[in-house]
Amino acid sequence: MTGVLGALSEAWDEVRVHKSRVVLSLVGVFLAVFAMTSVTAIGQIAAQVQQETAERTGGRPATIAVQAFDPMTGMPPDAEAWDVAVAELTGRYDLTTSATISYGEGLYRMPGGTQRVQTVRVSPSYGELHRKQPVEGRWFREGDRTSLSPALVVNEAFLEALGVPDLSSRPTVMLGGPTPVRATIVGVLREGYGSELVAYRVDRSGGSWGDAGAVDPMQAMYGGPSTLKLWVHPDQVDQVMETVRRDLGLALDGAQVDPYRMDAEGVEETLAVLRLAIRGAGVVVLILGGLGVLNIGLVTVRQRIREIGVRRSFGATSGRVFSAVMLESVCATALAGVAAVGAAVVLVRNLPVERWFSDGIPLADAPGFPVAAAIEGMIAATAVGALAGLLPAIIAVRAKVIDAIRF
């Protein structure tokens, strides 16, 4: 018991007395663990950004899109019938993670005159499915269906065309058509190419296409076919597609139902490779840092041979000499590891990592500082200390006492 304490206090004394040397030898390990931990953490945030970007376009894995046509005319089914059939389907199977989407064009009264803008009508749950994360304001809620002034989520170009800098003035816009209605802009997204204007509205259950603020009926028809999107477990894709095809086909009285998978499969694999590459780089840096510690350890153990000889005369056993040199290395690198992980946490917390990778679109699921990366950093630092301490410890044990204390 006191033997272990003795070895520990000996190692600690050593670290304390040779502060500058220890600090110097640890710069490498500190930098390596710092780099590895930060890179892993940043990499994980980058990967998350990458994944969410992919999911914004294709939906989260696995997203199934369902459309229906009349096999004879190629026309979409009657809107009301479709809505009823979809509501029945999602109700029957308790499909909470489903959304509908349809595209059309709306007439908006902008300062420069009435303008046609592509308008996407979605159910509020579409936001979760496609990781819609407004840069300002909010995405739709279920309550928006019943609000008197239709809620709109628009892109930045739309807001600019409206001549409004941000949402602080609670901007509204008149939806044109036979009976105009004032819509409220509740959120702003960063999307669309160039100066393309994009607007989102709650789906038909918040008012049919034909109502006030809708469009010219021709456009509505072309844009019309509504798509049902389902977010299911990747293992259930085939089963769900089969069920949907059968049930919707029956409900829509012989319409052709086309379910297909639309998320970017394989994104996960790409990201796994990315993560692996990042870790590989970290390991290489760490090995270099470990070599630095080993090098300084070898130099100093030679300088300390006399001291080790003197300790032998105090009755130090080989085991004690070995563990003293070894523990010194481990104590020191573990300390460097703590410092490096701490520094990495501070760095990653304070860097605008998300801005760099995602064009300023906030993350829907922002990863915190990855605990695994921190623990790994600590383990790696300690392991490097043990490995780098091994050779000097062996040299120390093998040193001939009488040569060491001879002068």
Closer CB to another protein, 305 or 339, in the complex: 305
| Contact string (CB under 8 A) for another protein, positions 47-76, x = contact | ------------------------------
How far, in Å, are 201, 248, 252 from residue 73 at the CA level? 29, 18, 15
Q: What is the DSSP string of 163-180?
A: T--SGGG--EEEE-SSS-
* # binding residues, another protein (CB under 8 A): 27
Give, as one character, the DSSP assignment of residue 261: E
Q: Which residues of 172-182 are buried (b: 16+ CB within 10 A; e: fewer)?
A: ebebbbeeebe
The nearest distance, CB 399 to another protein, in angstroms, is: 12
The nearest distance, CB 3 to another protein, in angstroms, is: 7
The nearest distance, CB 389 to another protein, in angstroms, is: 19
SS3 80: helix
The nearest distance, CB 317 to another protein, in angstroms, is: 4
Whether the CA torsion 232, 237, 242, 245 is positive or negative: it is positive
Q: Indicate the burial class of 126 (C-beta count within 10 angstroms; 0-12, 13-18, 19 or more).
A: buried
| Contact string (CB under 8 A) for another protein, positions 128-167, x = contact | ----------------------------------------
Q: What is the DSSP string of 1-33?
A: -HHHHHHHHHHHHHHHHTHHHHHHHHHHHHHHH
Closer CB to another protein, 193 or 314, in the complex: 314
Task: For residues 142 and 122, give the distance between their C-alpha atoms in angstroms, rounded to a whole number.
Answer: 11
- According to CB under 8 A, which one of 78, 307, 338, 390 is a site residue for another protein? 307
Site for another protein in 310-329 (CB under 8 A): 310-320
| Contact string (CB under 8 A) for another protein, positions 9-28, x = contact | xx--x---xx----------
Closer CB to another protein, 310 or 351, in the complex: 310
Per CB under 8 A, 299 contacts another protein: no
The nearest distance, CB 316 to another protein, in angstroms, is: 5
Closer CB to another protein, 17 or 218, in the complex: 17
Closer CB to another protein, 182 or 400, in the complex: 400
Give, as one character, the DSSP assignment of residue 81: H
The nearest distance, CB 309 to another protein, in angstroms, is: 8
Cβ atoms < 10 Å from Cβ of 30: 22
Q: Where are the beta strands (DSSP E) in 148-211?
A: 151-155, 172-175, 181-189, 198-202
Whether the CA torsion 355, 369, 287, 281 is positive or negative: it is negative
Residue 360, CA atoms < 13 Å, CB-side half-sphere: 7
What is the contact surface with another protein in residues (CB under 8 A)?
A: 2-3, 5-6, 9-10, 13, 17-18, 306-307, 310-320, 401-402, 405-407
